[in-house]
Amino acid sequence: MVRVFRQPFTGMAWLFLYIMKRNVIATFTWLGFALMSCSAETPEESNNPAPADTTAANKVAVWVTNGTQGKLLKSEQPLSIVKAGTVSPAANLINIDFSTKLQEMEGFGAALTGSSAYLIQQKLNASQRENLLKDLFDPNTGIGMSYLRVTMGASDFSLEDFTYNDLPAGQTDAALSKFSIAKDQADLIPVLKSVLALQPSIRIMATPWSAPAWMKTSGKLAGGSLKPEWYGAYAQYFKKYLDAYQKEGITIDAISVQNEPLHEAAYPSMGMDSAAQGNFIKNHLGPLFEANAIRTKILLYDHNWDRPGYPISILNDPQASRYVAGSAFHAYGGNVSAMSEVHDRFPDKGLYFTEISGGRWATNFSDNLKWNMSNIFIGTANNWSKNALLWNIALDENDGPKNKGCDNCRGVVTIASNGSITKNVEYYTIAHMSKFVRPGAFRVQTDRLSASSQLEHVAFLNPDGSKVLVILNQGADNRKFTVAVGKNQYSYTIDPNAVATLVWK
């Protein structure tokens, strides 16, 4: 990941100034919770009950998280669906057209980094590990995360620097005869297998932070670029990785060519401008995948919203574009609308949101809840993303283990040295999507409300026919809205600074 202090609070300059000017957060308690903390209850304190049965009762199930943490993915009393006109609609009327399907959703989740896998596999006992993974991945009893990102080799959140073909300085291995995924077999692969046992259809995306040092201009994992003479060998490196994981029973659904190709750092990283990435895909990686009938998707870019010209320049080349499934984005710079800019130019290509991290630079639960829902979950979906992923799925109480990168990042959950689990604000933002919007769902057409309403929303149609509305109240007051679906309607009043997920059939 890039230096996370650059994380934008787009449209929230006031929050940035507040954080910069003040280092004191007022705290209040509610049943022992620190209400302005980003941490909340542990898996043992919440059993994630199943949604109420709405199939035969003309009811809408409601789940809410608010900024005070008085409600944390709380199931409320179901709403009644009535005929339109039975009740006068609120001023905020949302029309949803479920017959107009937009992009198909592939899933929601986070990155199972080397650090995260180590904590889950080595720092939890079998019972703790089982409980956590069920909470995160079981779609019935947990929040049903449906998409994971893993690193190909080391990242800034690994126990050490490594790739799958490391050699002493001065040596090369053109045939990749020393290729090995052995370092992944201690923690990452066992955790992935446990996840697959809970959710066999989960999608997994893989991303390299660096090619082996002997392939690079720098001669080391930190920084430098890929030497053109090793483009062919590096393409084979991807194939060997996919084959090795397939032998472990793990199918990689997508790869991105390079994590943050415009950022070279002190941790494993590699510069790769758009011309180099286009050349690598067009003349090496794409043809190799095609010749070997490899169905793993190839994704471009995998960097910030502020440079949409990077993927556009590659997609403008029809020879390179034919091998590309889509473009991936991070949120440490720019605006989410960049994803729509790429979609408008290339509507036949997918868009993916693959990284953002919370951290100690922003600790207000309510503000983080709203920023993440507005920009990452509601925002990316409304700008054509097929998924939304956060960064580390788990870190320890010291924001690690870390590998020369971000020193104050926050995981989706925190695993303490005694094995206790703390759910952070990121857990709830993912949950409001992943538990209810299942893979294969379609985003559907909805009206947009006026900015003065302070309500933001997105709607989906699940493969089983269930309908989902996720709505955010940015305001400091209750907001009533009415949802119109054909000849029916229902109304709801959402708490201030809150997100609600509503589900019905």
Here the CATH number for the domain that contains residue 350 is 3.20.20.80
Same-domain check for residues 72 and 219: no
Query: Which DSSP category does 425 fall into?
Result: H
Same-domain check for residues 174 and 65: no
User: Is 52 domain-assigned?
Assistant: no
User: Is 184 domain-assigned?
Assistant: yes
Asked which of 388, 407, 441 is the last residue of a domain, the reply is: 441
Q: Give the model's pLDDT for residue 1.
A: 54
Same-domain check for residues 262 and 355: yes
**What's this model's pTM, rounded to 2 decimal places?**
0.90
Q: Give the model's pLDDT for residue 20.
A: 38
User: Is 51 domain-assigned?
Assistant: no
Q: Could you tell me which residues are beta bridge partners of residue 147?
A: 109, 203
Asked which of 391, 415, 441 is the last residue of a domain, the reply is: 441
Same-domain check for residues 83 and 229: no
Domain that holds residue 186: 105-441
User: Is 278 domain-assigned?
Assistant: yes
Q: Give the model's pLDDT for residue 57.
A: 62
SS3 content of the chain, % helix, strand, coil (to 5): 30, 30, 45
Q: Give the model's pLDDT for residue 415.
A: 98
Asked which of 441, 460, 483 is the last residue of a domain, the reply is: 441
User: Is 224 domain-assigned?
Assistant: yes
User: Is 500 domain-assigned?
Assistant: yes
Same-domain check for residues 71 and 194: no
Same-domain check for residues 137 and 247: yes
Same-domain check for residues 81 and 116: no
Helices (H) and strands (E) in the chain, counts: 13, 25
Same-domain check for residues 346 and 493: no
User: Is 295 domain-assigned?
Assistant: yes
Same-domain check for residues 380 and 452: no
Q: Give the model's pLDDT for residue 39.
A: 52
Number of domains in the chain: 2
**Contact at 8 Å (CB) between 210 and 221?**
yes
Same-domain check for residues 61 and 190: no
CA-based torsion, 239, 240, 246, 251: positive or negative: negative
Same-domain check for residues 92 and 164: no
Q: Give the model's pLDDT for residue 43.
A: 37
10-residue mean pLDDT series, the chain (505 residues): 42 37 34 39 44 63 98 97 82 94 98 98 98 97 98 98 98 98 98 97 98 98 98 98 98 98 98 98 98 98 98 98 98 98 98 98 98 98 98 98 97 97 98 98 96 97 98 97 93 98 97
User: Is 272 domain-assigned?
Assistant: yes
Q: Give the model's pLDDT for residue 13.
A: 38
Same-domain check for residues 408 and 275: yes
**Contact at 8 Å (CB) between 412 and 426?**
yes
Q: Give the model's pLDDT for residue 9.
A: 41
CATH of residue 8's domain is: 2.60.40.1180
Q: Give the model's pLDDT for residue 50.
A: 52
Q: Give the model's pLDDT for residue 58.
A: 87
SS (H, E, C) 84-131: CCCCCCCCEEEEEEEEEEEEECCEEEEECCHHHHHHHHHCCCHHHHHH
